[in-house]
Amino acid sequence: MDLETKIRVLRVVEGTSVDGPGLRTSIYFAGCRHHCPGCHNPQSWAMDGGDEMSLAALLAIVERNEAPVTLSGGDPLAHPAAMLALTRAIKQHMGYNIWCYTGYTWERIMATDELRRVMDYVDVVVDGPFILAERDEGLLFRGSRNQRLIDVAASLHASAPRLLDLDSSL
């Protein structure tokens, strides 16, 4: 995919500590098909929301911040081809840690080839839809108890989801 490819971005938050450990660059993408009741960001659902940005422009922001990256939204995996190009470029050219928030479960990601390929460049995936009845404000980096912090490399190696050990990774 060409880095001049455009994708719809709601906002980029530089230097945030909310969407993963440490100071990070968080990119919020427009578009989500999950429409979770109680979602804290329902304005992100529209596929035509936000503003168009090229992948090259996003990479320039990431490079300028010299920080790990979080992909959120909306659902970044609503745009698998663009996420593959973006995560590959971030990982191969900058080497930054990448977290990805998605309403898809790990099992669904692994069963869908275009989603699975993105995981080759992601370090942690926060999976699953937000479920209002499972909401827990005391959870670190997620909103409901059904959502998991998945260590992608360990999960790919084991061919099964492996949860991130927050105590040893922070």
Q: What are the boundaries of each domain within the chain?
A: 6-169
Cα–Cα distance list, 142 to 95, 129, 130, 158 (Å): 24, 10, 9, 24
Per-residue model confidence (pLDDT) at position 2: 82
Instruction: Dihedral sign for Cα 52, 58, 60, 61, please.
Output: positive
Rounded Cα distance between 126 and 72, Å, is: 10
Rounded Cα distance between 28 and 31, Å, is: 10
Rounded Cα distance between 98 and 27, Å, is: 11
Rounded Cα distance between 10 and 15, Å, is: 17
Rounded Cα distance between 24 and 4, Å, is: 24
Per-residue model confidence (pLDDT) at position 166: 78
- Short-list 14, 13, 24, CA closest to 67: 24
CATH for 6-169 is 3.20.20.70
Q: pLDDT 10s digit of each residue in the chain, 170 long?
A: 687 889 999 999 999 999 999 999 999 999 999 999 998 888 999 999 999 999 999 999 999 999 999 999 999 999 999 999 999 999 999 999 999 999 999 999 999 999 999 999 999 999 999 999 999 999 999 999 999 999 999 999 999 999 998 766 55
Rounded Cα distance between 132 and 146, Å, is: 10
